[in-house]
């Protein structure tokens, strides 16, 4: 089966998405998500200028060989732009192979290990009461797991708290908007959120929280310790994960489970954290960590060390990524949870899909392939708009992790 053409589709139904479409001489095509929030055109160029010309004429069935060609053959390996491009090719080729077999993708990945994929919703609010009211709504809709993010006293804004309760999109300006951050009031108020949550929501719901890379290791250790009474499912991105040694310090102080990895793009980023069991959930994704092929390697390593998956699933990962991730989630033995930030109706219309929500779990559906398509005519109605992720500064103006 020869690859006859491939092209990049950039569309912006409320936010930018980059999609790779690979077509073959047997009339089958595959789709891969190549969206990298705030750097979409970099990945589009990497694909168009450096990858697609090398794909034409290749056998679309040789997924691993093409993965190795694009990874080892790049010389300048790894990095979010390169690996988002590799991920998109890999995902599209798995989509084609499953369509060729006439099977839903998970059947090619060893079949289902579970009946559905537990997902978590995103309750947020300026105040604790507002956040818990949102959380109750998720409970009422049958969610089994909910992430809680609330405003920080004295700060005008903070990560994860949005005016629009249905969708959270942080890339809100052509150039980065600047926010002010202060750790002390956050550190004092976060435990109050979870004390109130357990009081009001009970103990049967899994509660999650994202510190979003903002703490120092010892601050993260203190927060983990302060949250222990509320038995979180996980504390995410407690500290920037470039330095895995930081997690040795956190681990010495707290048993709150730790999740890391949405910004990882290679198994090497996660290796020490997994092998030393410094984390409990690996957040790497189909779109940024090498596609189905790359993510399966990471999950297999994690399984050896009792680390579970917890794939990133924010609005800036397209429905194609979500669809492919659900087939991976259904089939992987050490599944933990899948993040599920629902997309807007406009996005869902551009990317019709088979996955469905039922009783706290998503199901990828039985359509051949990953079950997600793209309406190219509709996509063309949403031209690209440059958007950047925010920047954080401390109150004295010092640049800080966003
Ligand atoms: C967040 C994301 O979903 C999460 O856990 O960390 O919203 C993240 O901020 C965005 O994906 C960045 O583009
Ligand atoms: Mg996160």
- Chain segment 267-307, per-residue pLDDT in tens: 999 999 999 999 999 999 999 999 999 999 999 999 999 99
What the block records as the tokens of 222 is: 């203190």
pLDDT in tens, 184-243: 999 999 999 999 999 999 999 999 999 999 999 999 999 999 999 999 999 999 999 999
Q: Is-catalytic flag, 159?
A: yes
- 78 and 133 belong to one structural domain: no
Say what the pLDDT of residue 305 is: 98
In-domain check, residue 361: yes
Q: Which residue has the tokens 């997600």?
A: 372
- 54 and 177 belong to one structural domain: no
Say what the pLDDT of residue 163 is: 77
- 205 and 329 belong to one structural domain: yes
What the block records as the tokens of 157 is: 């804004």
Q: Is the pLDDT of residue 64 over 70?
A: yes
- 135 and 229 belong to one structural domain: yes
- 184 and 203 belong to one structural domain: yes
Q: Is the pLDDT of residue 312 over 90?
A: yes
In-domain check, residue 256: yes
The total number of structural domains in the chain stands at: 2
Nearest CA to ligand 1 atom 7: 314
What is the pTM (predicted TM-score) of this model? 0.98
Dihedrals phi, psi of 374, to nearest 5 degrees = -135, 135
Say what the pLDDT of residue 164 is: 73
In-domain check, residue 393: no
Q: Is-catalytic flag, 400?
A: no
Nearest CA to ligand 1 atom 10: 314
- 57 and 144 belong to one structural domain: no
- 96 and 226 belong to one structural domain: no
| CATH code for the domain in which residue 85 is found | 3.30.390.10
Range of the domain at 77: 3-104
In-domain check, residue 316: yes
Which atom of ligand 1 is closest in space to residue 159's alpha carbon?
9
From 71, 86, 104, give the residue that closes a domain.
104
In-domain check, residue 334: yes
- 13 and 145 belong to one structural domain: no
Q: Measured from the CB, is residue 257 less than 6 Å from ligand 1?
A: no
- 208 and 69 belong to one structural domain: no
Report, as an integer, the average pLDDT of 379-399.
Answer: 98
Say what the pLDDT of residue 166 is: 66
Dihedrals phi, psi of 269, to nearest 5 degrees = -65, -30
| C-alpha to C-alpha distances, 54 to 34, 139, 350, nearest whole angstrom | 17, 49, 28
- 83 and 136 belong to one structural domain: no
pLDDT in tens, 253-272: 999 999 999 999 999 999 99
Nearest CA to ligand 1 atom 8: 314
In-domain check, residue 84: yes
Which atom of ligand 1 is closest in space to residue 212's alpha carbon?
6
pLDDT in tens, 143-178: 999 999 999 999 999 999 987 766 788 999 999 999
| Contact predicate 139/201, CB 8 Å | yes
- 150 and 299 belong to one structural domain: yes
For a ligand 1 pocket test, name from 122, 145, 210 the mutation site with the most ligand atoms within 8 angstroms of its C-beta.
210
- 179 and 265 belong to one structural domain: yes
Say what the pLDDT of residue 162 is: 86
Among the bound ligands, name the one nearest to the CA of residue 317: 1
How, if at all, do strands 338-339 and 117-125 pair? parallel
| CATH code for the domain in which residue 205 is found | 3.20.20.120
Strands (E), 288-372: 308-309, 338-339, 356-358, 361-363
């Amino acid at each position: 089966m020869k690859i006859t053409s491939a092209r990049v589709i950039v569309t912006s139904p409320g936010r930018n998405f980059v999609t790779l479409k690979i077509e073959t001489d047997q009339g089958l095509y595959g789709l891969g998500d190549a969206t990298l929030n705030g750097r979409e055109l970099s990945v589009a160029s990497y694909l168009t200028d450096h990858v697609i010309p090398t794909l034409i004429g290749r056998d679309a069935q040789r997924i691993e060989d093409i993965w190795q060609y694009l990874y080892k053959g790049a010389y300048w390996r790894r990095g979010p732009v390169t690996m988002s491009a590799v991920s998109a090719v890999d995902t599209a080729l798995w989509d084609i192979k499953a369509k060729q077999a006439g099977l839903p993708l998970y059947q090619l990945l060893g079949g289902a290990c579970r009946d559905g994929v537990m997902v978590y919703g995103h309750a947020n609010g300026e105040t604790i009461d507002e956040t818990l009211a949102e959380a109750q709504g998720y409970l009422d809709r049958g969610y089994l797991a909910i992430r809680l993010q609330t405003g920080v006293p004295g700060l005008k804004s903070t990560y994860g708290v949005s005016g629009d309760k249905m969708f959270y999109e942080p890339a809100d300006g052509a150039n980065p908007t600047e926010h002010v951050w202060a750790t002390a009031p956050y550190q004092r108020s976060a435990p109050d959120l979870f004390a109130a949550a357990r009081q009001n929501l009970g103990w049967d719901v899994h509660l999650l929280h994202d510190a979003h890379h903002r703490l120092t290791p010892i601050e993260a250790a203190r927060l983990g310790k302060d949250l222990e009474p509320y038995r979180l499912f996980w504390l995410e991105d407690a500290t920037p994960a470039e330095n895995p040694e930081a997690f040795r310090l956190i681990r010495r102080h707290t048993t709150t489970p730790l999740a890391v990895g949405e910004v990882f793009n290679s198994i090497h980023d996660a290796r020490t954290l997994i092998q030393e069991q410094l984390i409990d959930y690996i957040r790497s994704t189909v779109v940024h960590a090498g596609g189905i092929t790359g993510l399966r390697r990471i999950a297999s390593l994690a399984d050896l060390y009792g680390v579970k998956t917890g794939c990133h699933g924010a609005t800036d990962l397209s429905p194609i990524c979500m669809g492919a991730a659900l087939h991976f989630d259904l089939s992987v033995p050490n599944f933990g949870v899948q993040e599920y930030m629902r997309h807007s109706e406009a996005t869902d219309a551009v990317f019709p899909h088979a996955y469905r929500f039922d009783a706290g779990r998503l199901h990828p559906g039985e359509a051949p392939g990953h079950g997600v398509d793209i309406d190219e005519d509709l996509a063309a109605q949403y031209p690209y708009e440059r958007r950047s992720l925010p920047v954080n500064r401390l109150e004295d103006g010092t640049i800080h992790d966003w």
